[in-house]
Amino acid sequence: MTDVTTAVCPGSFDPITLGHLDVVRRARAVVGDVVLGVARNAAKAPLLDVGERVSLARAALDGAGLGDVRVAVVPGLLVDFCRDVGAGVVVKGLRGGADFDAELPMALMNRHLSGLETVFVAGDADLAHVASSLVKDVARHGGPVDDLVPPGVGDAVRAALARRAAAGQQDDAQHDDAQQDEPRTEGDRA
């Protein structure tokens, strides 16, 4: 049975940011019970493994006075996860039009699959520039990120980047940059 007093705030949270916490706060103001669903994105290799993301999310929520928010891994389809936790609605934050363009097809598919509705909330305008991908990019280049993420998250991101560098692994952004630097055809090599 689904309950409209229970909402899921899904995301990869790689890493969790202050913008994510803002969305959770806004969801808590509307519904009685919120579950933070840590999802896997098959299209990307995460910087932080799912266990790290869950631990960082739990610590961030506790530190933000949101300790009653549950954290769980989304093992498959979001609609199945919502059914399993008894959630009747998905809450997603929007920073701008690009977020809406990315989120709307997923919301429509979730509705198509199960009737599950998605509620979009406008995020804090002061955090509109904060995105997990930008946090990782700034940290990758040695820039400061601690004012964009909950306490401890910046250290975890820097440590994960250092582990990748020591192992000689590229993350998604470095791989994309390397691909752009390579010639695309034999004619481009001249």
- Catalytic, 25? Answer no
- Residue 132 token pair: 């997990």
- Catalytic, 95? Answer yes
- Catalytic, 132? Answer yes
Q: What domain range is 40 assigned to?
A: 3-168
pLDDT digits (tens, 9 = 90+) for 158-185: 999 999 999 987 655 554 444 444 433 3
* CA atoms of 42 and 39, how far apart (whole Å): 9
Q: How many residues does the chain have?
A: 190
How confident is the model over 123-129, as a mean pLDDT?
A: 94
Q: Is 91 part of a structural domain of the chain?
A: yes
pLDDT digits (tens, 9 = 90+) for 63-95: 999 999 999 999 999 999 999 999 999 999 999
- Catalytic, 141? Answer no
Spell out a b/e string for 100-125, using b for 16 or more CB atoms within 10 Å of the CB, else e. eeebeeebeebeeeeebebebbebbe
Given the residues 44, 112, 129, 175, the one annotated as active site: 44
- Residue 178 token pair: 């390397």
Given the residues 12, 20, 26, 92, the one annotated as active site: 20
CATH number, domain of 100, equals: 3.40.50.620
Q: Is 86 part of a structural domain of the chain?
A: yes
Q: Strand 117-122 vs strand 33-39: parallel, antiparallel, or unpaired?
A: unpaired
**Nearest C-alpha neighbor of 158 from the set 130, 137, 128, 127:** 137
Q: Is 71 part of a structural domain of the chain?
A: yes
Query: What's the alpha-carbon Rg for the chain, to the nearest Å?
Result: 18
Q: Is 110 part of a structural domain of the chain?
A: yes
Q: What is the DSSP letter of 39?
A: E
Q: What was the pLDDT predicted at 180?
A: 40
Q: What was the pLDDT predicted at 171?
A: 59
Confidence of residue 9 (pLDDT cuts 50, 70, 90): very high
Q: Is 17 part of a structural domain of the chain?
A: yes
**3-class DSSP state for residue 47?**
coil
Q: Is 180 part of a structural domain of the chain?
A: no
Given the residues 26, 95, 136, 140, the one annotated as active site: 95
- Residue 129 token pair: 């520039």
Q: Is 187 part of a structural domain of the chain?
A: no
Given the residues 12, 26, 92, 132, the one annotated as active site: 132
- Residue 103 token pair: 């989120």
* Domains in the chain, number: 1
Bond preceding residue 183 cis, omega within 30 of 0? no
Global pTM value: 0.86
pLDDT digits (tens, 9 = 90+) for 127-140: 999 999 999 999 99
3-state secondary structure 56-76: HHHHHHHHCCCCCCEEEEECC
How confident is the model over 45-66, as a mean pLDDT?
A: 97
Q: Is 174 part of a structural domain of the chain?
A: no
